[in-house]
């Protein structure tokens, strides 16, 4: 069907009828008569008009595939995995074939690729949805007032809360942010605005290496560093902050550098041309222009490190009571709290396991809030850069 | 507040100026005097070094990595490439307007005009600042269009208005020389005309050097015209001749200038 040549009626496409007000036969302009014959052109036929499947066609294809798989299940026995995989694969193949038969190969390819992408997206989303569902379902059991007002001091069995861990998470992460943001932003300014040659290249390389440091190594580094000054076995909140900074700094450097890079040079030049020195150009023109992106990057870096467990396990330790001084003794936090509650629940185990799930839920909520905050900040302060 | 000194348009004397990008000689042997209170147009084909030359007049050329200059550029009688010269101070006297309008996106219209004063942290009274902003915007023929929305972002203006905003921003710091790198090439004919009229008035106070690809613009708005040319790719650009605009466009002394201005280039 698609191979038949396109109809071309010479009467319709001819030069004479293209001009509706063509001169009557007796007074034809000489140029038109003497015009050389049009060169013959060739190209594959292109159909502009055609049949399109209705909008519900993909759904029908998948439903048909599901029905078919049910019938197959009746014969060989039902299994969820086989049913889902079979439905998705058969739905895609069926849809492609149907579309190819009715709409032609180009639209069929389009539908096939669209279907594949949607299926891949759904596949990627499945663990996330499952995880959220599990955490919310199990975490809601102890998502009560006591959880946010009590610590675990003297609590055995039921009850108890995680206020000490929530404080710990906020304090440790806050200190880590205080350490990382100035260092990270200033490093990024150096790399993007000042650095040249070998020093810049090597710094960039080491920042990349730092991005890949396993978090436990960061924890061991902080532990070893503080052991030098305080002796072995020391535990402090600030040690955790230092360990987290090691993880956070490269993320802040990378995102800030990227944001500074997209600030157009024309703005820097405009500022220089007004006789503004370089450092003021950076602080008053470049940084404000990139501010939204930088803040977003920082917030996302916080969200990335707030759930770290391993480095905090060895640097801040496990404790059951509230400690708000990061320079004095052990300090719990939500990730370690969840880990230790689940690992050694005691007897009976259920209350402790419930608390672990709730701690995980609270942690996820904090990360969600941070992500939303990042988006809002970007919308509020983000600058349109052309 | 530092005492204010009276300023006036200055003469720019350029002698034996060579401009390099690394080892590449981009423009060679420029000897020319740019007169005060006149508009000097730089014309020539793309890549012949007009913009590079222009940027060397306020030491913006060196911002490119590896770029440097030999020769002398005297602003009245001070060599801006002299040993002790501060490039930042040079740029305060030699302002620049760029090809594409580039208002600061984070700033309001008012702050854009005041940017040169604020960013240089000149302490001044609000009333003085208001006066300078108003005077600069009036000078750029923009005041009536924006006086009711000075607090709005500068990016909200049209392209032509943005370019006039940039001119106001450049004049607000009271430079002696104003460099313009194809200031109207991104604008429609009406905005272009507005900019050209503006240039005609600005020359009463400043020395103006303008790069343009538009011959009509050069002939309409300039007093002097300098023609730059290049012998071929990889060769340095050079100043062919400079003369009054009238002479360059009617009876230039060099054949290649004649070819270029009459459209028979190449």
Q: Judge whether B109 and B192 are in contact, CB under 8 Å.
A: no
Average pLDDT along chain B:
88
In-domain check, residue A5: no
**What is the CB neighbour count within 10 angstroms for residue B41?**
28
Residue B98 with chain A: CB contacts under 8 Å: 266, 269-270, 273
Amino acid B96: pLDDT: 92
pLDDT above 50 (res A333): yes
Assign B212 to helix, strand or coil. Answer: coil
Length of chain A equals: 386
In-domain check, residue A328: yes
**Which of B119, B136, B156 should be substituted to probe chain A, the one whose Cβ sees the most A Cβ atoms within 10 Å?**
B119
Residue with tokens 């600042």: B129
> Does one domain contain both A313 and A179?
yes
pLDDT above 70 (res B35): yes
pTM (two decimals)? 0.80
In-domain check, residue A31: no
Read off the tokens for A146.
Answer: 């006591």
The 10s digit of each residue's pLDDT in A26-70 is: 555 555 566 778 888 888 877 777 788 888 889 999 999 999 999
> Does one domain contain both A279 and A301?
yes
> Does one domain contain both A134 and A178?
no
Amino acid A10: pLDDT: 44
In-domain check, residue A104: yes
The share of chain B scoring above pLDDT 90, in percent, equals 31
Residue B65 with chain A: CB contacts under 8 Å: 196
> Does one domain contain both A96 and A226?
no
Q: What DSSP string runs through A55-88?
A: TTHHHHHHHHHHHHHHHHHHHH---HHHHHHHHH
Cβ–Cβ gap A273/B93 under 8 Å: no
> Does one domain contain both A165 and A189?
yes
Amino acid A382: pLDDT: 67
Cβ neighbors of A299 (< 8 A, separation 6 or more) are: A370, A371, A373, A374, A377
Which of A110, A140, A170 finishes a domain?
Answer: A140
Q: How many domains does chain A have?
A: 2
- The band of A383, judged by pLDDT with boundaries at 50, 70 and 90, is low
In-domain check, residue A49: no
Taking CA atoms, what residue in B is nearest to A291? B106
At CB < 8 Å, which residues of chain A contact B? 196, 264, 266-267, 269-277, 280-281, 284-285, 288-289, 291, 383-385
**Calpha distance A209→A18 (Å, rounded):** 68
| Helix ranges (DSSP H) in chain B | 50-56, 87-93, 109-119, 126-139, 143-146, 159-172, 189-202, 215-221, 245-250, 255-261
In-domain check, residue A252: yes
pLDDT above 50 (res B4): yes
CATH of the domain at A213: 1.10.3720.10
> Does one domain contain both A123 and A151?
no
> Does one domain contain both A132 and A161?
no
> Does one domain contain both A217 and A282?
yes
**Who among B88, B98, B115 is closest to A266 (CB)?**
B98
In-domain check, residue A195: yes
> Does one domain contain both A128 and A247?
no
Mean pLDDT on B2-20: 82
Amino acid B62: pLDDT: 87
Cβ–Cβ gap B95/A285 under 8 Å: no
**Calpha distance A114→A339 (Å, rounded):** 41
Cβ–Cβ gap A281/B58 under 8 Å: no
- The band of A16, judged by pLDDT with boundaries at 50, 70 and 90, is very low
The 10s digit of each residue's pLDDT in B160-214 is: 899 999 999 998 988 889 999 988 887 788 888 888 888 888 888 889 999 988 8
**Which of B22, B87, B104 should be substituted to probe chain A, the one whose Cβ sees the most A Cβ atoms within 10 Å?**
B104
Cβ–Cβ gap B170/A274 under 8 Å: yes
**Who among B60, B90, B120 is closest to A276 (CB)?**
B120
| CA angle centred on A31, ends A25 and A34, rounded to 5° | 85
**Who among B98, B105, B120 is closest to A275 (CB)?**
B120
Distance from CA of A269 to the nearest CA of B (A): 8
> Does one domain contain both A127 and A197?
no
> Does one domain contain both A345 and A232?
yes
The 10s digit of each residue's pLDDT in A62-99 is: 999 999 999 998 888 888 888 899 999 999 999 999 99
**What is the CB neighbour count within 10 angstroms for residue A29?**
10
Residue A283 with chain B: CB contacts under 8 Å: none
CATH value of B12-102+172-261 in 3.40.640.10, 3.65.10.10, 3.40.50.300, 3.30.565.10: 3.40.50.300
Numbers of helices and strands, H then E, in chain A: 17, 0
pLDDT above 50 (res A182): yes
Cβ–Cβ gap B106/A289 under 8 Å: yes
**Which of A196, A259, A268, A274 should be substituted to probe chain B, the one whose Cβ sees the most B Cβ atoms within 10 Å?**
A274
pLDDT above 60 (res A194): yes
Cβ–Cβ gap A273/B58 under 8 Å: yes
| Helix ranges (DSSP H) in A140-196 | 145-149, 163-189
**What is the CB neighbour count within 10 angstroms for residue A309?**
17
Distance from CA of B245 to the nearest CA of A (A): 27
Cβ–Cβ gap A272/B63 under 8 Å: yes
Mean pLDDT on B142-164: 89
Which of A97, A122, A140 finishes a domain?
Answer: A140
Amino acid A359: pLDDT: 94
Which of A140, A168, A185 finishes a domain?
Answer: A140
Cβ–Cβ gap A271/B166 under 8 Å: no
A339: left (phi over 0), alpha (psi -120 to 50) or beta: alpha
Q: Judge whether A64 and A91 are in contact, CB under 8 Å.
A: yes
CB pairs under 8 A between A and B: 77
Residue B173 with chain A: CB contacts under 8 Å: 274-275
**Calpha distance A97→A108 (Å, rounded):** 7
The share of chain A scoring above pLDDT 90, in percent, equals 53
Read off the tokens for A114.
Answer: 């669209």
Cβ neighbors of A51 (< 8 A, separation 6 or more) are: A102, A103
Residue A267 with chain B: CB contacts under 8 Å: 102, 104-105
**Who among B93, B100, B105 is closest to A384 (CB)?**
B105
Q: Which domain holds residue A124?
A: 57-140
Taking CA atoms, what residue in B is nearest to A263? B105
Q: Are strands B67-75 and B12-21 parallel, antiparallel or unpaired?
A: antiparallel
> Does one domain contain both A159 and A260?
yes
């Amino acid at each position: 069907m698609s191979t038949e040549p396109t109809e071309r009626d010479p009467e319709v496409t001819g030069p004479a009828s293209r001009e509706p007000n063509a001169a009557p036969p007796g007074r034809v302009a000489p140029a038109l008569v003497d015009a050389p014959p049009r060169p013959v052109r060739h190209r594959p036929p292109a159909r502009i008009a055609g049949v399109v499947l209705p909008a519900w066609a993909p759904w029908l294809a998948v439903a048909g595939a599901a029905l078919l798989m049910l019938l197959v299940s009746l014969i060989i026995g039902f299994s969820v995995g086989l049913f889902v995989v079979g439905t998705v694969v058969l739905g895609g193949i069926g849809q492609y074939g149907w579309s190819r038969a009715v709409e032609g190969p180009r639209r069929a390819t389009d539908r096939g690729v669209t279907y594949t992408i949607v299926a891949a997206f759904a596949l990627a989303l499945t663990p996330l949805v499952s995880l959220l569902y599990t955490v919310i379902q199990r975490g809601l059991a102890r998502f009560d007032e006591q959880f946010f007002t009590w610590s675990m001091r003297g609590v055995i069995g039921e009850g108890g809360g995680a206020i000490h861990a929530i404080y710990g998470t906020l304090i440790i992460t806050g200190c880590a942010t205080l350490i990382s943001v100035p260092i990270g932003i200033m490093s990024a300014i150096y790399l993007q605005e000042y650095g040249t040659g070998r020093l810049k290249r090597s710094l960039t390389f080491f920042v990349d290496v730092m991005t890949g440091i396993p978090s436990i190594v960061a924890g061991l580094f902080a532990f070893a560093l503080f052991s030098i000054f305080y002796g072995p076995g020391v535990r402090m909140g600030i040690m955790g902050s230092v360990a987290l900074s090691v993880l956070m700094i490269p993320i802040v450097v990378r995102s800030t550098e990227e944001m500074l890079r997209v600030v157009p040079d024309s703005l820097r030049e405009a500022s220089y041309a007004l006789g503004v020195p370089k450092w003021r150009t950076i602080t008053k023109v470049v940084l404000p222009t990139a501010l939204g992106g930088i803040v977003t990057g920082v917030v996302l870096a916080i969200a990335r490190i707030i759930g770290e467990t391993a480095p905090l396990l060895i640097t801040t330790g496990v404790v059951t009571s509230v400690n708000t001084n990061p320079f004095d003794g052990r300090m719990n936090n939500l990730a370690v709290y969840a880990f230790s509650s689940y690992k050694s629940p005691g007897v009976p185990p259920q209350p402790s396991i419930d608390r672990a799930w709730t701690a995980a839920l609270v942690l996820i909520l904090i990360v969600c809030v941070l992500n939303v905050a990042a988006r809002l900040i970007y919308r509020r302060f983000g600058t349109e850069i052309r | 507040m530092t005492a204010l000194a009276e300023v006036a348009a200055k003469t720019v004397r350029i002698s034996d100026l060579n401009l390099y990008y690394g080892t590449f000689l981009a423009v060679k042997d420029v000897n020319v005097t740019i007169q005060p209170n006149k508009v000097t147009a730089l014309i020539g084909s793309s890549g012949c070094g007009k913009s590079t030359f222009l940027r060397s007049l306020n030491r913006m050329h060196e911002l490119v990595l590896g770029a440097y200059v030999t020769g002398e550029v005297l602003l009245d009688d001070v060599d801006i490439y002299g040993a002790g010269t501060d490039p930042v101070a040079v740029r305060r006297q030699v302002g620049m307007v760029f090809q594409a309008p580039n208002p600061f996106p984070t700033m309001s219209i008012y702050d854009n005009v005041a940017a040169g004063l604020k960013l240089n942290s000149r302490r001044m009274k609000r009333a003085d600042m208001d006066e300078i902003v108003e005077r600069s915007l009036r000078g750029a023929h923009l005041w009536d269009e924006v006086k009711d929305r000075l607090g709005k972002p500068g990016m909200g203006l049209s392209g032509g208005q943005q370019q006039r905003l940039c001119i106001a921003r450049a004049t607000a710091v009271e430079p002696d020389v104003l460099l313009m790198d194809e200031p109207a090439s991104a604008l429609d004919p009406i905005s272009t005309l507005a900019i050209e009229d503006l240039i005609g008035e600005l020359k009463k106070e400043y020395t103006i050097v303008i790069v343009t690809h538009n011959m009509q613009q050069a002939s309409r708005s300039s007093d002097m015209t300098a023609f730059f040319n290049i012998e071929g790719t990889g060769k340095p650009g050079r100043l062919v001749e400079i003369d009054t605009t009238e002479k360059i466009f009617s009876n230039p002394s060099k054949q290649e200038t004649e070819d270029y201005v009459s459209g028979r280039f190449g």
